Amino acid sequence: MTPESLAFLKSLLDTPGPSSFEAAPARLWRQEAQSLADEVRVDVSGNSYATLYPEGRPRVMLAGHIDEIGVMVTHIDDDGFLSFDTIGGWDHQVFVGQRVRLLGREGPVSGVVGKKAIHIMDKDDREKVSKVEDLWIDVGAANRGEAERQLRIGDPGVLAAGVLEFPNGRLVSRSIDNRIGAFVVLEAVRMLAGGRQAAAVTAVATTREEIAATGGGARSSAVALEPDVAIVVDVTHATDYPGVDKRRHGDYRLGGGPVLSRGASVSEVVFELLASTAQAEQIPYSIEAASRDTHTDAEGIFNAHRGVATALVSVPNRYMHSPNEMVALEDLDRTARLLAAFVRRLTPDTDFVPR
């Protein structure tokens, strides 16, 4: 990964953008895309598009969602303390003792998650699991009016955890799921820019994946693009740390390369093309079984309009949905290289129909 790409990635990860409030990281993504793509645009749902060779065939969609999990203010009491709810799936234990960054009307507002100190808890309460309704956010306000001058009901926020670089090419951030996917699909466009291939390629930074009961931005962007083939880039659980049963959850390691899904929502034709491409390019990869669903944007794309030949490529991620998700930079590079090589192999006659 070039220093320029790494700097862009770190900026993208540090820019708050919970589901339904992704505008700031999406703007940053489109700004980067302007120097790479032939066409860059945004739609009413907040999905961002970067297209190369729009007249080419087949039409390829590379999708990575740009939202992250977060919190939302639900109530402000007379003393200025904020009740909150979750945006997306959280382990509520993660909130205890955390700092937060709320997106107020005049800019970011810092806060801390409050909980009764253990010293003044009853014995039974000490042993209970914390729930979000038992917690609050303290922004230092003296009363409701002071808090409301900065914040209002429905304002979103994220945990205040910035990017960290670790040894062995590890990167840590609260928003790896799945700002990483949006980064990788744009990196694939960067690798393809200026080259020669038959396909029209559109990288899409989709919205609302973490709360997408009806397909979110993935479905609406797929309907707009009508792609012939789509590859979704997301994260999957790395299982290379203590206590994980690999018989139940698979064997996926940081530095092990991209993970290709098989099963639900995935075209076997596209899977085989990806696997053969990885082998030809000497890119290490693993396979993940998805017998029911993938819990990704693939569900929102594969049955859009007349149906889309869809695949899912995932980056191994430790500590999912925490302030300290971790990936290996080499896996990001390998995944982007795989997507670019896959696109170069396509011709107008490539058949995605299973026969």
The residue whose two tokens read 């669903």 is 293
Question: What local confidence, expressed as pLDDT, does residue 286 receive?
Answer: 98
Catalytic residues: 209
List b or e across 181-218, with b for residues whose CB sees 16 or more CB atoms inside 10 angstroms. bbbbbbbbbbbbbeeebbbbbbbbbbbbbbbbeebbbb
Calculate the dihedral angle through the C-alpha atoms of 264, 19, 132, 318, rounding to the nearest 10 degrees. 60
Environment class of residue 279 by beta-carbon count within 10 Å: exposed (0-12), middle (13-18) or buried (19+)? exposed
pLDDT of residue 37: 97
pLDDT digits (tens, 9 = 90+) for 256-265: 999 999 998 9
Domain 3-68+174-345: CATH architecture, name and number where available: 3-Layer(aba) Sandwich (3.40)
Domain boundaries, the chain: 3-68+174-345, 71-159
Strand partners, 2: none
Whole-number pLDDT of residue 89: 94
Q: How far is CA 168 from CA 27, 102, 327, 330, in A?
A: 31, 33, 10, 10
Instruction: With a cut of 50, list the residues of the chain below it in pLDDT.
Output: none
Closest CA to 270 of 310, 233, 308: 310
User: Residues 165-220: pLDDT tens digits?
Assistant: 999 999 999 999 999 999 999 999 999 998 888 999 999 999 999 998 778 999 99
- pLDDT score recorded for residue 52: 97
Predicted TM-score of the model (pTM): 0.96
DSSP reduced 3-state for 170: strand
User: Which ranges of 93-227 does DSSP label H, i.e. alpha helix?
Assistant: 123-126, 144-148, 176-192, 216-225
**Residues 206 and 66 sit within 8 Å (Cβ to Cβ):** yes
What integer pLDDT is reported at residue 254 of this predicted model? 98
* CATH class, 71-159 region: mainly beta
Rounded distance between C-alpha atoms, residue 266 and residue 312, angstroms = 7
On whether the CB atoms of residues 68 and 112 are closer than 8 A, the answer is no
